[in-house]
Amino acid sequence: MQLKKKHKKKAIRGALTTASCTLLGLSNVAQAENAPWQFDAGVLYYSETDRVQAIEPVVTGKKDFGDDRWLNLKLVVDLLTGASPNGATPTNTPQTFTRPSGKGSYTIDANETPLDDTFRDTRVAVSGSWDQPLGDQLKGSFGANFSTEHDFLSLGASASLAYDMNKRNTTLSAGVSFESDTIKPEGGVPTPFASMVPAGSAQPRDASDDTRTLVDLLFGVTQVINRNMVMQVNYGISTSSGYHTDPYKILSVVDGSTGATTDYVYEHRPDSRNKQSLYWQMKYHLTEDIIDLSYRYLWDDWGVTSHTLDATYRWDLGGAKYLEPHVRYYQQSAADFYRVFLIDGAPLPAEASADYRLAEFTGITLGLKYGTQIKGHDTSVRLEYLSQTGDSSPSEAIGVLQDQDLYPDLKALMLQFRYTF
Amino acid sequence: MRSFMTAALLSCVALLTGCANLGVEPWERDLLAKPAMALNPDPIQSAYDDHIYFSKEASSGGRSFAGGGCGCN
Amino acid sequence: MRSPAKAGERFGSRRRIGSSEKPVTSHASQSINIEHRADYWLGRFQAMASPCEILLEIDDAKLARRLTQLAADEAWRIERSFSRYRDDNIIHRINHSHGQPVQVDVETAQLLDFAYQCYELSEGLFDITSGVLRKIWKFDGSDRVPDAKQVKAMLPHIGLNKARWQAPYFTLPEGMEIDLGGIAKEYAVDRTLLLLQQQSNASMVVNYGGDMHCSGPRANGQPWTVGIEDPSREDHPLRLLQIRHGALATSGDARRYLMKNGKRYSHILNPKTGWPVEHAPRSVTVAGASCTEAGILSTLAMLQGKEAEAFLDAQGVQYWCVR
């Protein structure tokens, strides 16, 4: 048995003292003041078959200012191109529509869902929040956000509180948020139910812009059930007033017997909306894997009710690698004022919209995510497929419309990359 | 349907907060402390999903604030 | 008094010769008691197979009970989290991970960081993976010394450099084990003192079986007098130490050895060779700024065998060596 260094003994005490201090957290107070920023980035590629395409890079940064106080910042850039349904029904003849600017028009072939392809935009949004403890068991979070695109501006602020009890097994939370939106449509705000006029003529416009405000309240309880399981239940109530209409969407006015299109009119939605939701989520840790299940039930005074069921299974592959299949099921009922089309000569309703997003439909998403660590940094890639289907042959279809696909099904692919650094 | 759902979920809440024996001791939090066990483990991904579904559906929020902040709906 | 200077034996340090390893069961005494001495309160409980004492220069019985309970809860928490003998903690998960990465919590990560630093600073002499040697070395005063082949067969399963540590994932190859017994008691002493200092400015001593840390001098400027058992000294089993501030840790061999063919095999094993250190002191007591630091230094001093005093001289610390 040999012992090295029989003669000169190395002085290790200094290094050992430093190591012990680190272990006991004695120098941590000083370190927190200089804690570095932690960044998290992602990019999303979104692509609908023949319709909208988007690229959305996001970067967030957070910094610990000591004593559990954090500053979070986020920057989002959203680049959109492509075409979106304008609300008119397809019919057996080609159709020509005036662009929202009033300076041009576009023609759609017969039997094709009318898509407005002037839909291209770049959006930039920044948001920040400050989290800090407000008491022994109380934490507060205060945030502000700002988003701008060429026809829309949004400013918002929020505050929320979280209170821990039962040895941090139960957390009660409450939050409020305000948002003020300014809508400045290209070409101006259209007059409700005004007929569409050809390009070049004076367009039926009411104003150059309009506004709406939203107030949101959220109450929640998070409860640790046992060593493997945690649950959350939230109740949300939201009220908004102001301009809710989509200024680019129209409705087809069709003949009551033949179903042929006779006119296009701009849509009009109510000037207020009250939504409520109940949300439940559960996470369960198996031996190595994790199950995530959530359900949301939403209802509002527009007549929309929806169910959202979401399930994710995190399959741990060892060594920080995982595979996560994901399924989402969504079902909504139509808004009271949703119309597939309007009938020529019939009295106009107070509000009407043919926006397919207010119709009755079912959406299914299937996805798979793969995560790993590269040089100690979490990174992941996710592929998702969304399919929305509605009633293509509703019972109210008349005449030529009975041969048309009256619900523009949506199929979209999403590819997302994430990296933490 | 609506009142049934409300009653069911609110009674879950009452049950949960009423059961003070639910929960774990501080040293039993090893699994719960894992980042993957957070209720929102990937905020950027959740934000992407929220944004996509906000612009394709009539519903939003529930897990967090329902506001949109973008002109897509 | 604690026994050896071999990383991995601290939890079982009060074993007498001839006993087998006994797991620390959850129904070990979980009670505390407090006694009033002339001018201080003494809180006592059992943890990590050692008698634990908290000396508090206060005159409030309720506070004494509360602080002692706080200390005991923390000691029991550390014991539960890091004891090699339990089957429900991170150590068990790591030792039964079959070479798969295990994600560890912040506290375990900090202890692993520290263990790695000590491994490097000691050039491999302090090694938390050396505990597997107990499978072939059983120091019961008999003559059952393992042969060279058995020892050589153990060496591939020792070496912290063979494990992979990339926070928060720790990967231990199949057949290896880690044991934090060599750091845990001193770590508990330091952490407990920090916790108690958040509750009171009074002078206090945390003494777990001879490893102790004092928060500062008493009100009258006098040192604390602490008695620790020293079974290696047949004549005076109780040794009195005076401590004013700082920490003390002791390593000793507690008369555990094997005897074969007239050769005495001490109980302090060198993890790099698998064989006992020759000419190790009977006991080494080191003073340091923290109990953790003093504990590592006393362990390393024992492992230097003949060179223990030279090693401690080079570190510039106060020490007492008994041969």
Query: Block means of pLDDT (10 residues each) for chain A, length 421 residues?
Result: 54 85 64 66 94 94 82 94 91 93 90 84 93 89 93 94 89 95 92 92 90 95 93 95 94 93 95 96 94 97 97 89 96 96 94 95 97 84 97 90 90 95 82
pLDDT over threshold 60, residue C2: no
Contacts of residue C243, defined as CB under 8 A and 6 or more positions apart, other chains included, come to C205, C212, C214, C223, C224, C226
Say how many residues make up chain C. 323
pLDDT over threshold 90, residue C207: yes
Residues B69/A125, Cβ–Cβ less than 8 Å? yes
Which residues in chain B are closer than 8 Å to C81, comparing Cβ atoms?
27
CB atoms within 10 A of CB A22: 16
Subunits with 3+ Cβ pairs within 8 Å of C are: A, B
Alpha carbon A23 to chain centroid, angstroms: 43
Q: Which residues is A388 bridged to in the sheet?
A: A363, A410
Interface test with A, best of C104, C116, C118, C187 (most A CBs within 10 A): C118
Alpha carbon C262 to chain centroid, angstroms: 30
CB-CB: which of B1, B64, B70 is closest to A154? B70
- Give the C-alpha separation, C18 to C7, whole Å: 20
Q: What is the mean pLDDT of chain C?
A: 82
CB-CB: which of B23, B64, B70 is closest to A167? B23
Q: Does A116 touch chain B (CB under 8 A)?
A: no
Contact check, Cβ <8 Å, B27/C77: yes
**pLDDT of the residue at A30:** 35
CB-CB: which of A3, A12, A25 is closest to C307? A3
Contact check, Cβ <8 Å, C80/B34: no
pLDDT over threshold 70, residue C1: no
Distances (CA, A) of A48 to A42, A81, A359: 20, 11, 19
Closest chain B CA to residue A240: B67
Contact check, Cβ <8 Å, B63/A234: yes
Say how many residues make up chain A. 421
- Give the C-alpha separation, C38 to A60, whole Å: 61
pLDDT over threshold 80, residue C254: no
**pLDDT of the residue at C232:** 57
**pLDDT of the residue at A334:** 96
- Give the C-alpha separation, B57 to A356, whole Å: 9
| Average pLDDT of the segment spanning C109-132 | 91
CB-CB: which of A147, A238, A418 is closest to B44? A418
**pLDDT of the residue at C12:** 32
Which residues in chain C are closer than 8 Å to B30, comparing Cβ atoms?
90, 105
**pLDDT of the residue at A184:** 93
pLDDT over threshold 60, residue B41: yes
**pLDDT of the residue at C15:** 30
**SS3 (DSSP) at A72:** strand
pLDDT over threshold 90, residue C100: no
Which residues in chain C are closer than 8 Å to B31, comparing Cβ atoms?
none
Contact check, Cβ <8 Å, A23/C111: yes
Residue A162 token pair: 């979280």
ipTM of model: 0.88
DSSP E strand boundaries for chain B: none
pLDDT over threshold 60, residue C11: no
Contact check, Cβ <8 Å, B63/A177: no
The pTM (predicted TM-score) of the whole model is 0.62
Closest chain A CA to residue C106: A23
Interface test with B, best of C26, C105, C170 (most B CBs within 10 A): C105
| Average pLDDT of the segment spanning C196-203 | 88
Contact check, Cβ <8 Å, B45/A40: no
Residue A155 token pair: 């400013």
pLDDT over threshold 50, residue C252: yes
| Average pLDDT of the segment spanning B20-29 | 72
Subunits with 3+ Cβ pairs within 8 Å of A are: B, C
